[in-house]
Structure 1
Amino acid sequence: MRVLFLVQGEGRGHLTQALALAQILQTAGHEVVGALVGVTENRNVPDFFSSAFAAPITPVFSPGLVYNAGTNALEPTKTTLRAIRSVRPFWRSLKQVRKAIETLRPDVVVNFYEMLGGLTYALMKPSVPMVCVAHQYLAFHPNFQRPRHQWLYEQAFKLNTRLTCFGAQELLALSFDKQADAPERRVRVVPPLLRREVTELKPVAGDFLLAYVTQPGLRSELEKAHLRNPKVPMHGFHSGIQEADHAVDETLTYHAIDGQRFLDYMARCKAVVTTAGFESVCEAAYLGKPALMIPQPNHFEQAGNALDGQRAGVGTAADRFDLDTLLDYLPQHDPQVSDRFRAWYGQGYFLFLAAMNRAVASRPTSPGGFFLSRMRQLLRS
């Protein structure tokens, strides 16, 4: 089976999920023929992805999200205006995606929440089946818990999400735990995708809190929380730090963003403080580390993740760096949550391969095309 990836390059979550699925497919003897990664003029393909992804990578322009630098709030209006101003380069990107599909001739396209994928299939209708993978598709599940008082942001989120999955054969909704599928909505619930580097770690009990600080305003919140709790040891990985380690005082140390070092610290920490991004919370759950999930303002997706994470028992939520909330929660955390999470994660290998096979089997094939397909399979076996 030949598989082509389309990956949203915003943040690290979808990129790490693509790395994890590539490992599954390669282990099963399939070929990932390449990845088209959505980038902006200010955001290139991250080094951690380009250094670990074995197949060719093609950057493709795709408008990104806009955040307020001071408050970390997602700004839907500015995000929409940026997208409108980018219509012409965006159209060129759609043609670039279609040409890649025609040239590489994959058996299936896997789209990791990149809008270019849904719009290419809506407007240009490639014949290759597409499967979409993201935790965001869980919002289409009938049992999804919706954050209150966020109707406008919910509509914007749903519109964006639907734009990513036009023409998809299935929507593989990554979930903290097992739930029933919703086939009438094309939704199949699957386990999280975690990199092998996470699953090979050996977690130990720690005495410090670990924070992942991606937005500039979060640093000030962390430091306010540190001043209120100066005796609590904390390590923070921050995008604004250039040196490897920067000790603020005896109990607070910043580190430059480094994916592997962050995972090493996570395996040794007591708990994790992070935004309510799906990937980091899943990594913490696998390693048995409770999480304080802090959704970014106006971010419906993260608000939903926080509710869902509390439901699944992987941590607790707050609207700011409230360490008292986390410290009060820790004695109540059920350590068996991690055992159940690992068992659910273990089913992913078979569920993802089954989804790829269903997509390929659904593709209309002429008698001659069927013969050629079978010959390719026999030659690769």
Structure 2
Amino acid sequence: MRILYGVQGTGNGHLTRARVLAKAFKRAGVQVDYLFSGRASDQFFDMDDFGAYQWRQGLTFCTANGKVQVGKTARHNNLWRCWRDIKQLDLQPYDLVVNDFEPISAWAAKQQRVACIGVSHQKAFLQPVPVAGDGFINQVVMKYFAPSTTSLGCHWHHFDCNLLPPIIEPITATAEQHNRVLVYLPFESADEIAQQLAGMPHQHFSVFHGQPPVAIPPNVSWHSFSRDAFQHELAGCSGVICSAGFGLVSEALVLGKKLLLKPLHGQFEQLSNALALELLGAASVMKQLDKADIERWLPQPQGVPVGYPPMGDAIVEWLLAGRWDDVSSLCQRSWQRSQLPEAWLHKWVTAY
């Protein structure tokens, strides 16, 4: 079997899932080619797992100061180029397309009648999970941005739906824990982050951001993004302040880290993620980046580690079996292998 795997480059959670599955495909001896879109070609990093991958511009959203910029997003995305790339992508060599919310490979598969398995967090929103700001446009985007013949949606809880646990790389807490708080707010202004954190001089923060601020406060360590350095800091930190993306939160939940979320305004997925975590009692949420909210959160205790099973090999085995209409058995086995906090079990009656 030869597979084309299309991956959305907006957000690092898509890349994390792709790395997990790429290693599983390699262990199974499956021939896989990779196509990435959604961010500039020179902004991808740690891509060794994907070999000589393809890149297309694709579609993404633009942000400023923690908000989606609708007008800038419309101007930035070249729909004509995207449509041309869809028409020119030849899927004749492939038996299957695996897709993580990547529009070019998904629409090419639809037009050329090639089976497409969507594996993403976004696919979870096609089922009755907690949503915030739900509306017609959001549902259209989730359904048609990257259509698939079969959907494997991932979420932190099954919510009585056919969903999978998060697909993340193995991570364990370090024996030596420190008092630094990890901060990952890529959509916020670097200067605004530094200004808010400077007002808490007795707490040390470790910030990962694409740009440095004008001045770095003495209580802040500032880092450009590195996967290895980030994972090391995450494993030993006392808590995480981040946006409400799926990937990092999943890793923090596994480690039992306390969470303070600042979701991206205007972004349906992040607002819904924040709501789901509040309902589960797994995170605190702030509407704005605010020193007072951070100070109220800092004394809170650590959370209870969530036990999600390794998913890469299980998904690849399911794909190779070819029974793609049987999603429920894969979901059932996966949640049976999970260890959810007892408090979560009382919020949604366990379906399995």
Q: TM-score, normalised to structure 1's length?
A: 0.76
| Selected match of 1:177 from 139, 148, 157 | 157
Distance, in Å, in 2 between the alignment partners of 1:194 and 1:117 is 23
In 2, are the aligned partners of 1:108 and 1:360 still within 8 Å (CA)? no
* 1:36 paired to 2:35: yes
Distance, in Å, in 2 between the alignment partners of 1:39 and 1:138 is 20
| Selected match of 1:141 from 127, 148, 171 | 127
Distance, in Å, in 2 between the alignment partners of 1:118 and 1:177 is 26
**Alignment of structure 1 residues 1-381 onto 2, 5 Å:** 1-27=1-27, 29-39=28-38, 43-44=40-41, 46-53=43-50, 55-68=51-64, 71-83=65-77, 86-97=78-89, 99=90, 101-103=91-93, 105=94, 107-122=95-110, 124-127=111-114, 129-142=115-128, 144-147=129-132, 150=133, 154-166=135-147, 168-181=148-161, 188-196=162-170, 199=171, 202=174, 204-215=176-187, 217-241=188-212, 248-322=216-290, 324-329=292-297, 333=301, 335-336=303-304, 338=305, 341-342=306-307, 344-346=308-310, 349-351=313-315, 353-355=317-319, 357-358=321-322
Q: CA deviation at 1:356?
A: 5.1
Aligned to 2:34, the other structure's residue is in SS state strand
Distance, in Å, in 1 between the alignment partners of 2:14 and 2:292 is 31
Q: TM-score, normalised to structure 2's length?
A: 0.82
Change over 3 Å in CA distance of 1:291–1:335 after alignment to 2: closer
Q: CA deviation at 1:45?
A: 5.6
Change over 3 Å in CA distance of 1:333–1:3 after alignment to 2: farther
Change over 3 Å in CA distance of 1:121–1:351 after alignment to 2: closer
Per-residue displacement from partner, 1:253-274 (whole Å, max 9, x unpaired)?
A: 2112211101111111100111
Change over 3 Å in CA distance of 1:158–1:360 after alignment to 2: closer
Change over 3 Å in CA distance of 1:95–1:354 after alignment to 2: same
Q: CA deviation at 1:233?
A: 0.9
Distance, in Å, in 2 between the alignment partners of 1:48 and 1:169 is 30
Distance, in Å, in 2 between the alignment partners of 1:189 and 1:15 is 20
Per-residue displacement from partner, 1:307-364 (whole Å, max 9, x unpaired)?
A: 112233432111123354455446655633x1xx22x3346642553255345689xx
Aligned to 1:345, the other structure's residue is in SS state coil
Aligned to 1:102, the other structure's residue is in SS state coil
Per-residue displacement from partner, 1:154-196 (whole Å, max 9, x unpaired)?
A: 4433222222343x23211111123433xxxxxx301111124
1:73 maps to amino acid: K
In 2, are the aligned partners of 1:131 and 1:170 still within 8 Å (CA)? yes
Per-residue displacement from partner, 1:288-314 (whole Å, max 9, x unpaired)?
A: 211211111211111111111223343
Distance, in Å, in 2 between the alignment partners of 1:312 and 1:14 is 23
Q: Which has the larger radius of gyration?
A: 1
Aligned to 2:182, the other structure's residue is in SS state strand
Distance, in Å, in 2 between the alignment partners of 1:169 and 1:359 is 13
2:336 maps to none
Aligned pairs, how many?
Answer: 326
Change over 3 Å in CA distance of 1:327–1:282 after alignment to 2: farther
Change over 3 Å in CA distance of 1:348–1:15 after alignment to 2: closer
Aligned to 2:68, the other structure's residue is in SS state coil
Gaps of 5+ in 1: 182-187, 363-381
Aligned to 1:48, the other structure's residue is in SS state coil
1:375 maps to none
Q: CA deviation at 1:221?
A: 3.1
1:65 maps to amino acid: F
Distance, in Å, in 2 between the alignment partners of 1:159 and 1:45 is 31
Distance, in Å, in 1 between the alignment partners of 2:101 and 2:323 is 17
Q: CA deviation at 1:206?
A: 2.1
RMSD (Å), alpha carbons: 2.8
1:287 maps to amino acid: L
In 2, are the aligned partners of 1:210 and 1:271 still within 8 Å (CA)? yes
Change over 3 Å in CA distance of 1:200–1:76 after alignment to 2: same
Gaps of 5+ in 2: 327-352
Change over 3 Å in CA distance of 1:33–1:121 after alignment to 2: closer
In 2, are the aligned partners of 1:274 and 1:292 still within 8 Å (CA)? yes
2:167 maps to amino acid: L
Change over 3 Å in CA distance of 1:345–1:45 after alignment to 2: farther
Q: CA deviation at 1:38?
A: 0.9
Q: CA deviation at 1:230?
A: 2.1
Change over 3 Å in CA distance of 1:17–1:351 after alignment to 2: closer
In 2, are the aligned partners of 1:293 and 1:306 still within 8 Å (CA)? yes
In 2, are the aligned partners of 1:172 and 1:189 still within 8 Å (CA)? yes
Q: As a proportion of its length, which structure holds more helix?
A: 1
Aligned to 1:126, the other structure's residue is in SS state coil
